[in-house]
Amino acid sequence: MPPVGARIWAIPEGCIPGGIVSSDRALASHEAACILNAGARDAQGTIALLFEDREPIGPYRPTGGAHRTRHLRFNDLADPTPVPRDIGYASLIESSEPIVVQHSRLDSRDPHIARLSIIAWTQG
Amino acid sequence: MPPVGARIWAIPEGCIPGGIVSSDRALASHEAACILNAGARDAQGTIALLFEDREPIGPYRPTGGAHRTRHLRFNDLADPTPVPRDIGYASLIESSEPIVVQHSRLDSRDPHIARLSIIAWTQG
Amino acid sequence: MPPVGARIWAIPEGCIPGGIVSSDRALASHEAACILNAGARDAQGTIALLFEDREPIGPYRPTGGAHRTRHLRFNDLADPTPVPRDIGYASLIESSEPIVVQHSRLDSRDPHIARLSIIAWTQG
Amino acid sequence: MPPVGARIWAIPEGCIPGGIVSSDRALASHEAACILNAGARDAQGTIALLFEDREPIGPYRPTGGAHRTRHLRFNDLADPTPVPRDIGYASLIESSEPIVVQHSRLDSRDPHIARLSIIAWTQG
């Protein structure tokens, strides 16, 4: 199989609610990037977060093993700094290897859950 | 990093409910275009809205700063004219710089919320 | 502006629930293709529906005016035949002019609504 | 009409809840790949599932008839092994013929339903 994926991905919309809305991790409001590395080499990633009214932050440096998928919660990012809550952000992801990126949100503030998901955008 | 994005984006479906459905801005029904400008130059945008049974309106002229994202609510557009409520519309977005556009809707008429989101379409 | 769109679009998933679930047309379960014709010529469309266990049906022949969007409910298709209810189908849309197609579903059987939407797929 | 589709598709995010959440098959939590084969030849498919912390499983070998769509529930996959519950997975789909793949989830754990759907990613 040829390499599957691309090395640069963009997600324009993101926002993590600030309040604790559920003690159940599976159903707590969160945002995640699901990263598929279908190739035979481990991938080194770099994530930058961009905002409306302040300088970008990052880089975050996740890794993604060969023949693995990784479910990365933005809520859990800590180094170099946690993601600000209740503020819109965009994500720019670069990878040393071809990957495919899907972005998902679970919003449980309703109190009923709403989900959304997109394949992130790449230059194609 | 090479330029990320494209200069022309299309969103076929839009509709802003007419009734006031929540006094909480975060959870009120709304439609938004999230515009990521990952480049080093400010972007000048032009938005036209197209309808089923009337002439297009616009142009709206939002700007998007370099290395910034912008969360543009269609509910807030006012110049040259507010977006008609309860009427379907499509959006056509042009930009002077490469951008990435994501379109999202929060529908809270249920009364429980439903969300949807897409990466807008570009010629690729 | 260059032509925006493509002439062939595919939507793999569709299903219209059979029961009447709301007397409010806006919140009744439905599926729709939103078709944006940003160009200067009217578009002639052809829609074929494909199924899991029977021959395709169609063609439906919607039109889409120049500089217009069209919100086409599959529930309303009648000629050559109504869309079967409670059965999965896929849609294949051809157009004489470049268009952009978005597919949306509102499911109100819950009784709370769930929405989903995708940009249909084109050869790129 | 030219061939519609591509031969390799990727879906980064998947997860099937483990609990039985509804006795109504239509509204039970599930994940499905809707596969459209618009061409004149039957398609032979191969699906591999990738995980965060274990080796990939598969191949599953679904078929998709010519001029047909197929609604494949991951919940129903059994050979070579059922899909593990409550664990994230990604899917990699190859086909002998051009196809179009859409991935959908219905989550009814809320107890109200949430739906999401994406067109899977292909190299374009």
Nearest C-alpha in A relative to D112: A112
pLDDT in the model for residue A113: 67
d(CA B85, CA B73): 13
Is 0.85 exceeded by the ipTM? yes
Which of the given ranges, B25-34, C26-35, D45-54, has the highest pLDDT on average? D45-54
The verdict on a CB contact (< 8 Å) between A113 and D112 is yes
pLDDT in the model for residue C9: 96
Interval C6-10 mean pLDDT = 96
pLDDT in the model for residue C123: 81
B123 Cα distance to chain centroid: 18
Interval D75-79 mean pLDDT = 94
**How far away is chain A from the Cα of D122, in angstroms, using its nearest Cα?**
8
pLDDT in the model for residue B23: 66
How much is the pTM? 0.93
B76 Cα distance to chain centroid: 10
Give the confidence band of D115 by pLDDT, cuts at 50, 70, 90: confident
Q: What percentage of residues in chain D have a pLDDT greater than 70?
A: 89
**How far away is chain B from the Cα of C57, in angstroms, using its nearest Cα?**
25
C-alpha angle D81/D85/D88, rounded to 5°?
A: 100
pLDDT in the model for residue C117: 85
Give the confidence band of A24 by pLDDT, cuts at 50, 70, 90: confident
Interface of C with D (CB under 8 A): 8, 10-13, 50-53, 55-56, 88-90, 92, 94, 105, 107, 109-110, 112, 114-121, 123-124
pLDDT in the model for residue D30: 83
Give the confidence band of D113 by pLDDT, cuts at 50, 70, 90: low
Pairing between strand D90-107 and D114-119? antiparallel
The verdict on a CB contact (< 8 Å) between A90 and B67 is no
Interface of A with B (CB under 8 A): 8, 10-13, 50-53, 55-56, 88-90, 92, 94, 105, 107, 109-110, 112, 114-121, 123-124
Residue written as tokens 């007397």?
A: C23
3-state SS track over chain B:
CCCCCEEEEEEEEECCCCCCCCCCHHHCCEEEEEEEECCCCCEEEEEEEEECCCCCEEEECCEECCCEEEEEEHHHCCCCCCCCCCCCEEEEEEEEEEEEEEEEEEECCCCCCEEEEEECECCC
Give the confidence band of D2 by pLDDT, cuts at 50, 70, 90: confident
d(CA A34, CA D120): 13
Give the confidence band of D117 by pLDDT, cuts at 50, 70, 90: confident
**Chain A residues touching B114 at Cβ < 8 A:** 114
Q: Which of B89-93, C64-68, C92-96, C112-116 has the lowest mean pLDDT?
A: C112-116
**How far away is chain A from the Cα of D51, in angstroms, using its nearest Cα?**
5
What residues are paired with D90 via a beta bridge? D50
Interval D13-37 mean pLDDT = 81
Half-sphere exposure of B30 (CA within 13 A, CB side): 17
Q: Which two tokens stand for residue A89?
A: 């952000």
What residues are paired with B65 via a beta bridge? none
Three-class DSSP category at D37 = strand
**Chain C residues touching D34 at Cβ < 8 A:** 12-13, 88, 90
**Per-residue pLDDT at C1 exceeds 80:** no
pLDDT in the model for residue B21: 57
pLDDT in tens, D60-74: 999 999 999 999 999
Q: Which of B18-27, B54-63, C61-70, C93-102 has the lowest mean pLDDT?
A: B18-27
pLDDT in tens, C43-79: 999 999 999 999 999 999 999 999 999 999 999 999 9
Interval D3-9 mean pLDDT = 93
Interval D18-39 mean pLDDT = 81
Q: Which two tokens stand for residue B116?
A: 């949807």
**What is the average pLDDT score of chain B?**
89
Residue written as tokens 């032509």?
A: C3
The verdict on a CB contact (< 8 Å) between B117 and A51 is no
**Chain D residues touching A38 at Cβ < 8 A:** 10, 50, 90, 92
**Per-residue pLDDT at B2 exceeds 80:** no
Interval B11-27 mean pLDDT = 77
Give the confidence band of C124 by pLDDT, cuts at 50, 70, 90: low
Q: What percentage of residues in chain B have a pLDDT greater than 90?
A: 67
**Per-residue pLDDT at A101 exceeds 70:** yes
pLDDT in tens, A42-80: 999 999 999 999 999 999 999 999 999 999 999 999 999
Three-class DSSP category at D75 = helix
How close are the terminal C-alpha atoms of chain B, in Å? 18
d(CA D122, CA D6): 7
**Per-residue pLDDT at D87 exceeds 60:** yes
**Which chains have 3 or more CB–CB distances shorter than 8 Å to chain D?**
A, C
**Per-residue pLDDT at D116 exceeds 70:** yes
B37 Cα distance to chain centroid: 14
**Chain C residues touching B51 at Cβ < 8 A:** 68-69
pLDDT in the model for residue A32: 93
**Which chains have 3 or more CB–CB distances shorter than 8 Å to chain C?**
B, D
B22, B29, B31, B119: best to mutate for the A interface, most A CBs within 10 A: B119
pLDDT in the model for residue B83: 95
pLDDT in tens, B102-112: 998 877 766 66
**Chain A residues touching D11 at Cβ < 8 A:** 36, 102
Nearest C-alpha in D relative to A2: D8
**Per-residue pLDDT at A18 exceeds 90:** no
DSSP type of residue D121: B
**How far away is chain A from the Cα of B9, in angstroms, using its nearest Cα?**
12
